[in-house]
Structure 1
């Protein structure tokens, strides 16, 4: 990740509502959430959420997909991992095993029990 991109991503996360939205989407996993459900969880007006999602989209932190009349929004884990990598790239002077260097991926889905 380039410094300019890192600044854009950090700036996008530098607002309480955007950070909260992104964290909710990370917790939601790869299926993401319908925009309406995200709005309800955040308890903010729809127009405000739209503006915040546009900032997160511009920073490539979220993606969305239309499903009929519903727009589903998802966290972009690769962008999050790139930011973490950028921030920890020179951790401990470049020494191996200096800290909790790991990448994030959604937890594996639990299989539904068969009846």
Structure 2
């Protein structure tokens, strides 16, 4: 059972309107774009795969985990981050405010790069 919206676009109007068709694709191929839209109805992610390349569902789930985490906490996820790994404390958080906001502790790598355990675990 699919619990997310799928758009049927037989005449390709939506696909063309939103530039979802890969420039080198055959006109008979299906659209290979993935959109993640947040509860605020804003697009958070767009990935367009060529028809010759399968979608990476592990990466899509990783990105969704990151989007949900960073929407609820003042953190960012580093490259290749996986659920459960340390995250970056947002630079806007003052150093003196970190202990109260991130009670699991933190590590200062550079003044602008401070890491903390994933706060929602």
Q: TM-score range by the shorter chain?
A: under 0.3
Point out the structure with the larger strand share.
2
TM-score, length-normalised on structure 1?
A: 0.25
- Which protein shows a greater Rg? 2
Q: Normalising to structure 2: TM-score of the pair?
A: 0.24
Structure of higher RCO (CA pairs closer than 8 Å, 6+ residues apart): 1
